[in-house]
Amino acid sequence: MNRDEAWELLCEYTKTEQLRRHAISVEAVMRAAARRQGGDEETWGIVGLLHDFDYEQFPDQHPMAGKPILEARGVPDEIIYAIQCHADFTGYERRSPMDKMIFAVDELTGFVIACALVQPTKSLSDVKTSSVRRKLKDKAFARAVIRDDIWKGMEEIGADFDEHVQFVIDALKPVAEQIGLNP
């Protein structure tokens, strides 16, 4: 599967702009992580792009509902497995760096974007790691974000909080306009 095919699949199952933007943002962070860790950028990017493709149509069965769809389309097993890994409740053991990274960036990416959206400039450049840390403590802010997954994800990849958050911020800047932000 290439990026164009993944995008078509995402658009077939995901109709809302908000969820498509989330997919683009996680894809960007996964591609940056692949470059940093020597992974295959296309594979990691497709995992990021498709990780929530089934959520809109099957919210109560996500991501398990997407597995047979991906299998029927001939998507490689490593991509399907990593997508299953991004949801802690599936019971999939995160084995590869790609499996661990999708879990470590999914919730954090959404949270960083929420932090940028409350800036007067709506700019990622105005998001500081210290403000992300403060906002994580505020349970009312971006309440849908699973904060435990953010912390657990960083622990699983052995990441320093400030470095990981800054990495996500920097990885999002090239797609800022596509996801409704300023760089």
Residue 97 CA to residue 174 CA, distance in Å, equals: 23
Written as tens digits, the pLDDT of the chain (183 aa) is 999 999 999 999 999 999 999 999 999 999 999 999 999 999 999 999 999 999 999 999 999 999 999 999 999 999 999 999 999 899 999 999 999 999 999 999 999 999 999 999 999 999 999 999 999 999 999 999 999 999 999 999 999 999 999 999 999 999 999 999 988
> Residue 70: its pLDDT value, please?
98
Residue 183 CA to residue 61 CA, distance in Å, equals: 35
What are the structural domains of the chain? 3-175 (1.10.3210)
> Residue 80: its pLDDT value, please?
98
pTM above 0.85, yes or no: yes
Residue 145 CA to residue 134 CA, distance in Å, equals: 14
DSSP string, 100-128: HHHHHHHHHHHHHHHHHHTSTT-BGGG--
Distance of CA 68 to the CA centre of its chain: 21
> Residue 20: its pLDDT value, please?
98
Sign of CA dihedral 86, 21, 5, 44: negative
Residue 15 CA to residue 20 CA, distance in Å, equals: 8
Q: What are the C-alpha distances in Å from 68 to residues 34, 63, 84, 101?
A: 26, 10, 11, 23
> Residue 183: its pLDDT value, please?
83
> Residue 88: its pLDDT value, please?
87
